[in-house]
Structure 1
Amino acid sequence: MGRLEAFVASGGASTVPYTYEGRLQVYENKICRYPGHFAQFKAFKDLGLFEEEPIEVVPGAVRISPRQFYHALIGPQLEVERVIDVCVMRATGVGAKDGRDLRFTVELVDRYDPATGFTGMERLTGWHAAIMAEFIARGEIPPGVHRLEQAVTATRFLDKARQRGFQIAVWSPRDENDDDLRYTLYFRGENEQNWKVLAKDLEQRHYSWETSAMPDGAYYLRVVASDAVANPAGEGLTGERISDRFEVDNTPPSVVGLRARPGNPEARVEFQAVDSYSAIARAEYSLNASEWTLVMPEDRLSDSPQEKYAILLKGLAPGEHTVAIRIFDQFENSTSAKVTFVVETARPR
């Protein structure tokens, strides 16, 4: 990353100080930028370029908002064909537990993804906003104003992050001598014999990575801790632990055999949902861009990688109709398809 400067900002703090008042002695949120960033933007602020109240530029004729003027000037300077960025976050907690002084650090690094075109900033902001929007849309967050850190549990949020290809491993080592430890993290597939190195020389007790490069399937992690850095050469000890089984599924399901059988004034739409690894979680349809409607499989249970569906649409007006289908697997991978058909005008008898 090179040399950076840091300054306190309120955005990341938001309501957290109020939520943890009386429990935290110090809470700081700092933003890191390259040297000179803060001084330059402070100069813009001191000039009044961030003010929204219009000012008179041409007496008796032209009034403009300094902020709009600033945006009009700087906006084109920020437009580039492709942004290749890196985003780094570090959260450090210092305190005591069970009579012991503790310091816990979590670091996160994300980069531009050439496969999808998403920037690191989009993945760390837009994706999280989309997760919260999904919670709201599903009614998991009730109407009203909520503090972000209390709206959903961290576990629930991380589950959604994993569905987007993120995986996080956390371990809690214990060394009787309080030696500094270094960690090596390995992985292997369920039916594989050899462990492969995922990361090494880790100082922190956690690791996050994107699973899009891992084929669908079940995996195990193995973490090996070593105190060699705190002891004479050859006298270091190691300890290890193997994780519970976890699954990776990045492949969306497929809509197979989608067809419509129009009648008058109804139609029957049939299709199959097929997933290569996990069970189908749900299917929905939309008639002529109307709201999505849940449809149950023929056996009434969504518990298999392959499910059959049939939708009976009644009371259709004569003319062309389009039915959109979207399906989800247990990891929230999704795909969609559509079929168009025509309902003929009823002939008089």
Structure 2
Amino acid sequence: MTKSSITKTTALTLTLILIITSLAPAVTTKVTRHSDPSQLLKGETENVIINSQGRIQLARKYSTLELDDALENVWVINTIAEDSAGGVYLGTSPNGLIIKTHPDQQPQIIYPTADDARTDQPTDNDPQTTDAPQTPEDMFSNMHVFALAVDSSDNLIAALSGPEPKLLRFTDGKPETIYQPDQALYILDLALDPAGNIYLATGPEGKIIRLDADGSNPTTIYDAKDNNILSIVVGPDNFIYAGSDERGIVYKVNPDTKTASVLFDSEQAEITSLMFDDSGNLYAAATSAQAAANQEKFSAISAGMAPGKPESATDEQQPDDQTATDEQQPDDQTATDEQLTTPNQQTTSQEQQQAAQQQAQRGSMPKSAGRIYKIDPRGFVTTVFEEMAVFFTLENQDGNLLLGTGNKAELFSIDPATERKEVAYADETSSQLTSLKVSGDSVYIAAANPPQLIKLEKDFFTAGTYTSPLVDADQPARWGKLQAEAALPDATSIAMQARTGNVDDPDDPSFSPWTEKRNVAGPTDLVTPLGRFLQYKLQLTTNDPASTPTVREILIPSVVPNLAPMVNAVTVGQAKNKPHVLEITAAAKDENNDQLTYTYQFRKAGRTNWITFDEDQPKPKIEWNTNTVEDGRYEIRVTASDRKANTPTTALTGTRVSNTFVVDNTAPAIDSHKLTTDNTTATLALTVSDEYSLIGQLRYTVDSDNDFHGTLPNDLVYDTTSESFTITVPDLTPGPHVIAVELKDDLNNTAYRSFEVTIE
């Protein structure tokens, strides 16, 4: 059996051996998994990318092309075109320069030339003539080249905008003006149909103009309500599709009947770029510069993807005995890749739902954000990408959408079929990526502020590094076997390093040195000290520029040496509707997340010995029947133990003692009384006391009447453990009578006493 016939699966492990004097038996392990893009993006990348699925891969190689002094007077590269010989043309602002570069030639400004400048210079009879020499840049100040195209004869067509707009065709490298609009100041985009007819998107009057291939017979085929038509493309049906500013509308224009319909009205202000794919789907880049200026926070990459994935033909179930082929593999691996896996953990459906909800919340996008809309041939619209950025340009390379944005100069790659998104390139110097041109397997990228031309290759960098954010174990921890789930095609490898520290700052000098770099092909030992924080570093390498290793997940286990549980509070209170029963509640925490058991003890205040009345309880709350002890002042001690998660030699406990409380199950008593009569009135004077509790209530009844009469202490307030009362019973009939008294303390302990009296 060969490697090419099976999928080889191995477990990639990194054992972090800790430098400690003694190792205790294992306690509960905390496992941190890094696979979520929002988490991974907190780390640092060098020549690697992180996509919306949380995959870490080598980035595509890029280089900044040297244009010598051609960009000296350029602020922005607006557009790029390429001829069949590999010549690349750049349209720029603010001086209307057109620059040509070629891998085998020096870059040159092909327009305006000195001859073009002389053609337009003032004459001796012109009152504006000055003695100062004028350069081409002086003559073409405030001119802009927003659109370039190459026709079927490999001639460059260039649209100049500004005070004197014009359309140029370059034949044998020489420019010729083939059209000058009467009203439009700006030619913002242009497109050619299969017959060579030229379509111009113009402003500020929002007209779409058609020209014959030679620039003759200008015809306005649609006059839009919008000020500017920003983008234009010829569809496979030979209709013209155009995007506007201010209202963000996509028009569908019939060039023969000169009629138009609104294909889509977006929520954004501008449709900056339009593009068809091979299936006839139209993609529209809609953006809002104002939204980006407000700097609302959102990241399509960190938002990740919804749980699951789009179903495709490759997802169909294979017979059990069928060997998987490349077509059945995930999009970042093939059947011949070496596979590194991480172990599974139990995850409840509730945890999965919570993770999905967090993903959805993190992916919430303001309505004003930039979006790419897909409009299918039936006219149905779906959103395939959204980002809080200004969208400048959209291209298609091998089924992936490439989007140039600002103001962070990021190039996004979006696969509409798999929903995978990634930042394929980000420029640290410029602010905007204004134009893209796919050239075979490469992509030319125009940047602005400052201007530069970048070439993004298909090949991957040979090496790249990902440095993780700090992983926090909450306490100084032993770090277990770091494990990676990854695909390793032939000629690729992954190496790892790690370090630890006890401060939340990876730049702090107290962090341990990086461990020795080790290639990962099996169990690999790294040595790190005990530490609360761990940081790891992945180095991805390839000897095949067409292949990259792919890391799908990093699993980081940590074990905090066993710590004693902490009992933070013990409360004692009366159980509801249960006389003489107290409810005892403990609040405890274990840093190891060990399962705890509880032991409950009591003692009378002032004594030293504790009496255990309940133990090994799994819950931190019990009830205590106080009828089992005499009245008095007591304390409760609660002991929390982690013995169920540890060995007898490593188990630890934590204790806490309650505040002193009273057990009082005895009713108040009458200390003294005096009963007197006066004619038909009886008067009973009482002194009542309770050893521990406030006097709560005194009532009386006469001759066993069911109706008790309430009374108040002589000082009118129930506020002490001893109270005096005077009960007066008038209008008694001659003969014997019984006055019955009900005594209660504040805990409802109740006593009764009767007094006989005779009225003469």
Please, what TM-score do these two structures have when normalized by structure 2?
0.24
Letter in 1 for 2:745: D
Letter in 1 for 2:683: R
1:188 and 1:221 in contact (8 A); partners too: yes
Residue 335 of structure 2 corresponds to residue 335 of structure 1: no
State how many pairs are aligned. 191
**Which residue matches 1:232?**
647
Task: Name the SS for the 2:725 alignment partner.
Answer: strand
**Which residue matches 1:293?**
709
2:574 and 2:582 in contact (8 A); partners too: no
| Larger Rg, first or second structure (1 or 2) | 2
CA distance in 2, matches of 1:195, 1:157: 22
Matches within 5 A, 1:4-15: none
Matches within 5 A, 1:1-349: 158-161=575-578, 164-290=579-705, 291-344=707-760
Letter in 2 for 1:337: R
Letter in 1 for 2:728: L
Q: CA deviation at 1:225?
A: 0.9
Q: Which has the higher contact order (CA 8 A, sep 6+)?
A: 2
CA distance in 2, matches of 1:157, 1:202: 20
CA distance in 1, matches of 2:575, 2:681: 44
Structure 2, unaligned runs of 5 or more: 1-349, 355-571
Letter in 2 for 1:158: A
Letter in 1 for 2:680: P
2:631 and 2:665 in contact (8 A); partners too: yes
- The verdict on how the C-alpha distance between 1:273 and 1:190 changes in structure 2, with shifts beyond 3 A counting, is same
TM-superposition CA deviations, 1:165-190 (whole Å, max 9, x none)? 11121223222332222221122222
CA distance in 2, matches of 1:166, 1:268: 38
CA distance in 2, matches of 1:222, 1:246: 12
Letter in 2 for 1:308: S
Q: CA deviation at 1:320?
A: 2.0
Letter in 1 for 2:668: P
1:280 and 1:330 in contact (8 A); partners too: yes
CA distance in 2, matches of 1:158, 1:209: 9
Q: CA deviation at 1:247?
A: 1.5
Q: CA deviation at 1:194?
A: 2.9
Q: CA deviation at 1:248?
A: 0.6
Letter in 2 for 1:178: N
Task: Name the SS for the 1:247 alignment partner.
Answer: strand
CA distance in 1, matches of 2:637, 2:679: 62
TM-superposition CA deviations, 1:128-175 (whole Å, max 9, x none)? xxxxxxxxxxxxxxxxxxxxxxxxxxx9983442xx211121223222
- The verdict on how the C-alpha distance between 1:330 and 1:157 changes in structure 2, with shifts beyond 3 A counting, is closer
**Which residue matches 1:70?**
none
CA distance in 2, matches of 1:292, 1:256: 22
TM-superposition CA deviations, 1:12-43 (whole Å, max 9, x none)? xxxxxxxxxxxxxxxxxxxxxxxxxxxxxxxx
CA distance in 2, matches of 1:251, 1:203: 33
**Which residue matches 1:106?**
none
CA distance in 2, matches of 1:194, 1:158: 26
Q: Quick check: which one's strand share is greater? A: 2
2:682 and 2:728 in contact (8 A); partners too: yes
CA distance in 1, matches of 2:614, 2:637: 11
Letter in 2 for 1:319: G
Q: CA deviation at 1:284?
A: 0.7
1:259 and 1:339 in contact (8 A); partners too: no
TM-superposition CA deviations, 1:283-314 (whole Å, max 9, x none)? 11112233111111222222222222111222
Q: CA deviation at 1:195?
A: 2.4
Letter in 2 for 1:191: G
- The verdict on how the C-alpha distance between 1:274 and 1:157 changes in structure 2, with shifts beyond 3 A counting, is closer
CA distance in 2, matches of 1:192, 1:156: 22
- The verdict on how the C-alpha distance between 1:316 and 1:334 changes in structure 2, with shifts beyond 3 A counting, is same
Task: Name the SS for the 1:201 alignment partner.
Answer: strand
Task: Name the SS for the 1:173 alignment partner.
Answer: strand
2:599 and 2:640 in contact (8 A); partners too: yes
1:255 and 1:335 in contact (8 A); partners too: no
- The verdict on how the C-alpha distance between 1:185 and 1:157 changes in structure 2, with shifts beyond 3 A counting, is closer
- My pick for the range that moved more, 255-264 or 219-228, is 255-264
TM-superposition CA deviations, 1:229-277 (whole Å, max 9, x none)? 2113311121122223321101111234344212212111122212222
Letter in 1 for 2:722: Q
